Amino acid sequence: MTTRALRNGLLLAGICSLTLAACAKKPAEPAAVSGGPTLPTAIGPLEGAVDIVAWPGYIERGDTDKGYDWVTPFEKDTGCKVTVKTAGTSDEMVSLMTQGGYDLVTASGDASLRLIRGGTVQPINTALIPSYNAIDIRLRRALWHYVGGVNYGVPYQWGPNVLMYNTKVFPTPPTSWSVVFEPQNLPDGKPNKGRVQAYDGAIYIADAALYLLYNRRDLAIMNPYQLDEKQYAAALDLLRKQHPLVQRYWHDANVQVQDFTNEGIVASGSWPFQVNTLEANKQPIASVVPQEGATGWADTTMLHAKAKHPNCAYKWMEWSLNTKVQGDVAAWFGSVPVVTAACDGNALLGPEGCKKNGVENFDKIWFWRTPETSCDTPLGRCVPYSRWATDYVAIMGGR
């Protein structure tokens, strides 16, 4: 890592404070998952440990920068020793949690429903998490962790997938994602071929679908995570045409930082972490949410169905909502706190930190969510994530 750490979605449930158009497209709440353990009514004796699968940079104990440590105080306060296993993709997180041996995971919206459907995570009792009501009301019952009237997690952080660009190549901010999807000459007069990147993850199909939602109205796409066969085929076709343009399909944020610094990359979907890091390194970099809007991620701390340390896990979920912890994580990770009060008065985040990390883009974001067969299209059937995963691997391989 460089100076801060990294990273890696949010239609509302219960209320609808998104733009009118987005509200009109809000999908129905997923069906309830049958069975599951009975919710605990109290936190029992602490087990002395908690094992967490997390995005790199989400759970820091000061090893990289002593100023960023929200693990040590928790361990001193509870006696629960924190062990972290980092994962670089949502698919890796699902795999690790399915294998077992972990108590918690900081899952993005493209993983959380898979974990719920598979019975890998259990419902939580928010009454045992006193700070839960401090969470942004728009996230308390978000559709990727609140399913069938049951809550399967505690929101942690969120952020947009922004269009990051080189300001020397783009003196004026680009207004469309076309600069990474369509062959063209950029403002410096040179082609974009070999100078753009795409995300190494099947959920990126939603980015293509969002571009088509805005630019191909004849397809009648209403939700980039709910695609019928015709819409899905159009998204794949766009991604196949994009393939010759792509220098790298990235998933490591630090590698992308190096590519923008040394490899001549000038435009890509990215996270605020990379933007902040490159700006801190005095690189000619800025970011924008284009006219089509953007996808994004809202991560949820979820409890394994067979957690060995559930009491320490509950203590950690409460700790994760501490206002200082929320602000410190956002400062390190380039994300936005789910506890809005954390945006004010945090020395590490600063007065403009939440704005810089995209807090004002909430209404423009289609947050990551696992595509499922059952959906709100006229036919009521969509292409599920299993096909997204298989087809995107083929696209990255040039097939």
pLDDT tens-digit series, residues 43-76: 999 999 999 999 988 999 999 899 999 999 999 9
The pLDDT value given to residue 18: 34
Name 226's bridge partners: 223
Complete DSSP assignment for 132-144 = GGGS-TTTTT-TT
Long-range contacts of 251-258 (CB under 8 A, 24+ apart): 251/88, 251/89, 251/199, 251/200, 251/201, 252/88, 253/6, 253/7, 253/8, 253/277, 254/1, 254/2, 254/6, 256/197, 257/2, 257/281
Q: What is the block-wise mean pLDDT of the chain (399 residues), using blocks of 10 residues?
A: 36 34 39 60 97 94 94 98 93 96 96 96 97 97 94 97 97 98 98 97 97 97 96 98 98 94 97 91 96 96 98 98 98 95 96 93 93 88 96 95
Complete DSSP assignment for 180-205 = HHS--B-TTSSB-TTSEEEESSGGGH
State the amino acid at position 206 in one-letter form.
A
The pLDDT value given to residue 37: 52
The pLDDT value given to residue 5: 39
Instruction: Give this prediction's pTM.
Output: 0.86
Domains 20-159+298-355 and 160-295+373-396 share a fold: yes
Interatomic CA distance for residues 254 and 88, integer angstroms: 11
Q: Domain locations in the chain? A: 20-159+298-355, 160-295+373-396
- Look at the domain 160-295+373-396 and name its fold: D-Maltodextrin-Binding Protein; domain 2 (3.40.190)
The pLDDT value given to residue 102: 98
Torsional class of 54: left (φ above 0), alpha (ψ -120 to 50), beta (otherwise):
beta
Interatomic CA distance for residues 118 and 99, integer angstroms: 12
- Does an H or E element contain 23, and which? helix 20-24
**Nearest CA-CA partner of 365 in 313, 289, 275:** 289
The pLDDT value given to residue 238: 98
Interatomic CA distance for residues 304 and 107, integer angstroms: 11
Interatomic CA distance for residues 196 and 267, integer angstroms: 5
Give me the sign of the Cα torsion angle 135, 139, 142, 145: negative
Residues in CB range of 395: below 8 A, 6 or more apart: 236, 239, 240, 243
CATH number of 20-159+298-355: 3.40.190.10
Q: Which residues of 365-388 are buried (b: 16+ CB within 10 A; e: fewer)?
A: bbbbbbbbeebebeeeebbebebb
